[in-house]
Amino acid sequence: MITRQRLAAGVCALLAALTAGIAFPTGAVADETAEQAAPKVELVLDVSGSMRARDIDGGSRMSAAKQAFNEVLDATPEEVQLGIRTLGANYRGNDRKTGCKDTAQLYPVGTLDRTEAKTAVATLTPTGWTPIGPALLKAADDLDGGNGTRRIVLISDGEDTCQPLDPCEVAREIAAKGIGLTIDTLGLVPDAKTRDQLSCIADATGGTYTSIQHKEELTDRVGQLVERAADPVVTPVAVEGATACTSAPTLKSGLYTDREEFGQHRYYRVDVKPGQELRASVSVAADREVNPDYGVLLRAVTVHGREIVRGEAAGNGRTDVISTGLRYPKAESDDENAPAETVCLQVSNSFSAASGVKTTPGMPVELTVDVVDGPDQASDVASFGLGRGWWLLGALVLTGFLAGVLWGWVSRLRIAVWRTN
């Protein structure tokens, strides 16, 4: 007699076999992705005496930094090798020469022990000078070696106090070495001079500057920068957009960077053949203090200015990057020799500078262009939003169908057995 338990076991075994056979077909190719060097990040924290100031959400700047570090350490991706360096954390005296040497590695760059790193951060007390230049030089040495992504995240609330070693010149020297090291800077409740210096440091290496007024902003931004280091490295190509479509540069599929001034329009040209689809996206970074309520617009227009399609996004000051995108499928043509259509991409923004903030150079723009086979091509399953995972949906549908048929057969068999008994 066929028992209920045996029936259930048979069904489960058969479904498992069917699923395995569908999801992992014989001869499946193993992941051939080449192993890449681990990304490295060093957080460089200003622990000078001014970090005692209590002007960030009712608490001290040092308290906000410690909270941000604890949360970021918890969320750091496993593949990221992270270290922490301090400046102004140890020397309490007034001797300038000694104070300008006060930078030390609090936690070495490597596999992260979250408990150990948090314990080290908890011991910090605002103490001395602000030797930003020397700290950047040491941090670059800390990240030396390997060919993975390397990033310094500098958090400071004041100008370097160890001139004439200009930290902007230090950043330029690091960039000139061609070692692919990016420095991002964050200013805690910065004044104009601090903002200018930190912006200069970031600009020298292609990094970003962010003004911080609240604890939440600090935690979010440091976390974003650490996670960004784990992203696959794609080297963008510098391009200069034009003020009109007729004089715009022609772009192929790829990642591009440019700068756009407040309220400016930038044009780029892309050739799209019949049967192809243009996919484009743009991100504009507010690398300085801006007024709230802003937007970015990406339009695809003809060479005569007629709008084809647009993408737009708005912000309210809670993020320093705003992005949007669009898609334009070019219909097939019966004429095999039909020429490509020139599409003009127009990027514009509605940012406005806060009082006393410089409007030049323009804000960083990142433009992604991809021209692929259009959605009417049988091979382009991705156009339906399924991407390379289409087989999984097919496997689930087929498995569900077979499970339904099998369950119906088993149910009929159970009834037959019951009747005979």
- Percent of the chain having pLDDT more than 90? 49
What gap in Å lies between CA 164 and CA 361, rounded to an integer? Answer: 25
What b-and-e string marks burial along 151-164, b requiring 16 or more CB atoms within 10 Å of the CB?
bbbbbbbbbbbbee
Q: Do 48 and 188 share a domain, yes or no?
A: yes
Contact (Cβ atoms closer than 8 angstroms) between residue 57 and residue 215: yes
The 3-state DSSP class for residue 175 equals: helix
175 or 84: which leads in pLDDT: 84
Is residue 194 included in any domain, yes or no? yes
Q: Is the pLDDT assigned to residue 417 strictly greater than 80? A: no
**Residue keyed to tokens 């300038």:** 96
Q: Do 257 and 221 share a domain, yes or no?
A: no
- Backbone torsions φ then ψ of 57, nearest 5 degrees: 55, 40
Number of domains forming the structure of the chain = 2
Q: Do 207 and 276 share a domain, yes or no?
A: no
Q: Do 54 and 160 share a domain, yes or no?
A: yes
Q: At a CB cut-off of 8 Å and minimum separation 6, what does 118 contact?
A: 69, 70, 73
Q: Do 271 and 145 share a domain, yes or no?
A: no
Tell me the residue type at 267.
Y
What b-and-e string marks burial along 191-201, b requiring 16 or more CB atoms within 10 Å of the CB?
eeebbbbbbbb
Q: Do 56 and 193 share a domain, yes or no?
A: yes
Nearest one of 104, 99, 87 to 51, comparing CA atoms: 87
- Backbone torsions φ then ψ of 239, nearest 5 degrees: -145, 155
pLDDT digits (tens, 9 = 90+) for 307-330: 999 999 887 765 567 889 999 998
Q: Do 173 and 263 share a domain, yes or no?
A: no
Number of residues that make up the chain:
421
Is residue 414 included in any domain, yes or no? no
Q: Is the pLDDT assigned to residue 287 strictly greater than 90? A: no
Provide the residue range defining the domain that includes 72.
40-229
Position 171 scores a pLDDT of 92
Q: Do 220 and 258 share a domain, yes or no?
A: no
pLDDT digits (tens, 9 = 90+) for 348-375: 999 888 888 888 888 889 899 999 886 5
What gap in Å lies between CA 296 and CA 351, rounded to an integer? Answer: 8
